[in-house]
Amino acid sequence: MRILAIINPGAGTAATSADLKRQLEALFAAHDIEAELRLIAGPALPQAAQEARRRAERGELDAVVAGGGDGSLSAVASALVGTDVPMGVLALGTRNHFAKDLGLPLGLEAAVAVIARTQATAIDVAEVNGRVFINNSSIGAYPFMVLDRDRRRSMHGLAKWSAMALAAVRTLWKFPRRRLAIVVEGRSMPHKTPCVFIGNNEYSLSLPDLGGRARLDCGELWLSVVKPKNRLALLWLGLCAVIGRTDLTDDLTTQCATEVEIRSRASRLPVALDGEVAIMRPPLRYRSRPKALRVLLDSDRRAASTPQARKEPAGI
């Protein structure tokens, strides 16, 4: 098996570059995988992933492996969407939502063993105005907070979590609420909301799987709009999510759809995509791309699991 592994050495749980490379080389060799490892920082990932895809399509590689957090995995996945090139996953981030939702192991040794089995399964991705995401996208408070966090880190050299805490306070103080028109199935509804969340397939709002996805192959977007709130109510909602309160549906309106359009009078909107923020021109046109990405998964932990019984969503 021939692979190219694109690793972000700056990922949350990655060891030092030299130690990580030695460890991965030994693990791949132990599983008879001919691996070329490239340690690449975040901004250069998309270009490296495009080149890897071209090599795979020429028959030089059997798979492309992505190692890093969800943002890094998303960058590699974006290059492979719509092709027959399978993607392997090494979860090196802090949260690793994508790997967890796919039932993939977080340990390197077990993750390499899954890649060696070469069992590829097609899963969904989603996109907005042509930009692919594998987990979720959001408008409102979260991208505002990420931009403020990055500004603080750039200007003052703060640690990531310190900068995020200060950005959260500023976000709550400024309390950005967007006037948006959300169009689903031809029906347009006005909203003034601090946050709109669009998931690649449905997210759970109940324990024990709060914030996770049972499936990534339903061909759906999961649209969630926070109901109009004041600062204290929004803070309470955030705390309830952290402690695992199970009645969040009282604070949200949700709906599943294959396509969603979000309109705004603003000429540009900050949009979060798998934790990264892009500035985009509305209208924002979201759509699901069913089974557009092939991922190397464990044969007994496929994305196409037994369907869950569904509650009727509250209409947007």
Q: Is residue 306 part of a domain?
A: no
Task: Express each pLDDT in 33-88 by its tens digit.
Answer: 999 999 998 789 999 999 999 999 999 999 999 999 999 999 999 999 999 999 99
* Whole-angstrom distance, CA of residue 48 vs CA of residue 148: 28
Indicate if the alpha-carbon torsion angle 270, 273, 277, 279 is positive or negative.
negative
Task: Please identify, among 118, 147, 170, the residue that sits at the C-terminal boundary of a domain.
Answer: 118
Is there a single domain that holds both residue 190 and residue 245? yes
The reported pLDDT for the residue numbered 2 is 97
CATH code, domain with 235: 2.60.200.40
Strand segments, DSSP code E, in 27-112 are 34-39, 63-68, 87-91
Q: With beta carbons less than 8 A apart as the criterion, state whether 92 and 8 touch.
A: yes
Q: Is residue 217 part of a domain?
A: yes
Is there a single domain that holds both residue 111 and residue 175? no
Q: Is residue 146 part of a domain?
A: yes
The reported pLDDT for the residue numbered 18 is 80
C-alpha 298: how far from its chain's center? 20
The residue type at 271: V
Does the pLDDT of residue 314 top 80, yes or no?
no
Task: Express each pLDDT in 171-216 by its tens digit.
Answer: 666 666 789 999 998 999 999 888 899 999 999 877 667 788 999 9
Q: Is residue 261 part of a domain?
A: yes
Task: Express each pLDDT in 132-144 by its tens digit.
Answer: 999 999 998 878 8
The reported pLDDT for the residue numbered 146 is 78
Indicate if the alpha-carbon torsion angle 90, 96, 98, 101 is positive or negative.
positive
Q: With beta carbons less than 8 A apart as the criterion, state whether 195 and 165 touch.
A: no
Is there a single domain that holds both residue 110 and residue 137? no
CATH code, domain with 79: 3.40.50.10330
Angle between helices 17-30 and 108-117 (to 10 degrees): 40
* Whole-angstrom distance, CA of residue 262 vs CA of residue 221: 13
Q: How confident is the model at residue 246 (pLDDT cuts 50, 70, 90)?
A: very low
Segment among 129-133, 136-140, 143-147, 288-292 with least mean pLDDT: 143-147
Q: Record the pTM.
A: 0.85
Is there a single domain that holds both residue 105 and residue 141? no
Q: Is residue 305 part of a domain?
A: no
C-alpha 143: how far from its chain's center? 14
Is there a single domain that holds both residue 10 and residue 65? yes
* Whole-angstrom distance, CA of residue 149 vs CA of residue 164: 5
Is there a single domain that holds both residue 102 and residue 137? no
Q: Is residue 20 part of a domain?
A: yes
3-state secondary structure of 133: strand
Q: Is residue 36 part of a domain?
A: yes
Q: With beta carbons less than 8 A apart as the criterion, state whether 10 and 43 touch.
A: no
Total count of domains within the chain? 2
Domain limits at 147?
Answer: 133-289
DSSP string, 72-94: HHHHHHHHHTTSS--EEEEE-SS
Is there a single domain that holds both residue 77 and residue 196? no
Is there a single domain that holds both residue 114 and residue 142? no
Q: With beta carbons less than 8 A apart as the criterion, state whether 49 and 6 touch.
A: yes
Q: Is residue 280 part of a domain?
A: yes
